[in-house]
Structure 1
Amino acid sequence: MNERKKANRKTEPVQAANGMSTRRKEILNILNQQESNWSQCVMDYCGNHTPDTELLHTLVELGNNDTGRPATRVLTKQAVIAELQRNHNYYLNHALPQISLSFSRVLADRPEHFSLHLCHTLYEVFERALIEHIREEEHDFQAFNKGLKAGQDCFHAHHDETAALDQIIEMLSEQTTSKSFDPCHILVLRLQNLSNDLKIHTFVEEKLLMPMLK
């Protein structure tokens, strides 16, 4: 496990647990002890959002589930849709603007690097696709809540978008140093955080919500 992940695991549970119930703190501590990509994704997700405790418990159980089947918790369609909509709001109003700002700083710092400009172009394609995805999904959720659309139609897969983001991260990682003040390093951390967050968002959408809507 790299130093970033080790550092995250030491600090995130304490930060995320402030003001939370004992049960929620226990769940976060379990995540902190699990050295896996999945637990890191869940930790990043919890750092960005405040998921329902039942949803958080489901995500932890999935990490301990050798069968690959989603754990069964008491979650309602309305609660899961509301969670996804809160995710959308975070992406549009926080994560994406922050990443755009980071890209601006990186390009200003290294204007001669063609590979960085290429990464920025690829990111802009990813960003447009994600925003369009969110708009379509929000429209579908509103139609579903009003009874105007069937549940199965309220779904658009994130797979290609996440894969594209991971490719950008890999390309940028070759251009960065581990120095905390390096703008490119900060950009990579923000992109990785978004990628991890989207992986959980996709799981909630595909594995939890969709079976409820069939």
Structure 2
Amino acid sequence: MGDTLGTVLAVGVPVLLVWSFHATFRSRVRLLNVVLLLVLSVAAVWQAHRYGPGWGVVLAYVAVGVGVLVAAATFARAAAAVTVAAHRPYTPEQLAEVVRSLAGAPGALLLTIAVSPGGKIMVVGGEEAPRTLVAGLTEGCPLCFVEARVRELAGADTPAVAAYRERIGARANHTLVLTRAEPGDPWGWKLRPTRPGFTHRTATCPVHAD
């Protein structure tokens, strides 16, 4: 193999490997993607030994090491996340305070809130190691609770509530995802489908009941 092509591979394959690790572990990790990363890692080291210059071998091992560190950091953040399943229901105001504390935590850029088919509220938010709380309400409609929290954070006139209510009306449960670029910025929103679909069994008010 020519020196030029060998140099290109010696540099390009490790760069591709590091980018692949970063792209895979910055979002939802899937087993197939992890297997492909392992194959690419082996291929990077093999081609460096077979065709590359000496420094290319070192670069290949460095790339694999960086990729492993990226993966380890991702799993460490996931392990640090706290999930709390409340054994007692919260009053609407108690749970609202929890939502406010998660949204107002230093560095909080993401908050998700949803209603399970059984009627419990799931809230995920906080800092890099987010807290997850799953809790029921002592009274009131859980769907109304979600809408009230979104109005409180994203603004009273946010179109998120109308979009959410439209999905619920079509018996399609969705999670409301609130995001912002920097702490202190206004919250943006998007809807994410939730499985299983919502059946309105938890609706306890004229707005959301069949």
Same fold, TM exceeding 0.5?
Answer: no
Q: Which has the higher strand share?
A: 2
Q: Flag the structure with larger Rg.
A: 2
Higher relative contact order (CA 8 A, sep 6+): 1
Higher helix share: 1
TM-score, normalised to structure 2's length?
0.28
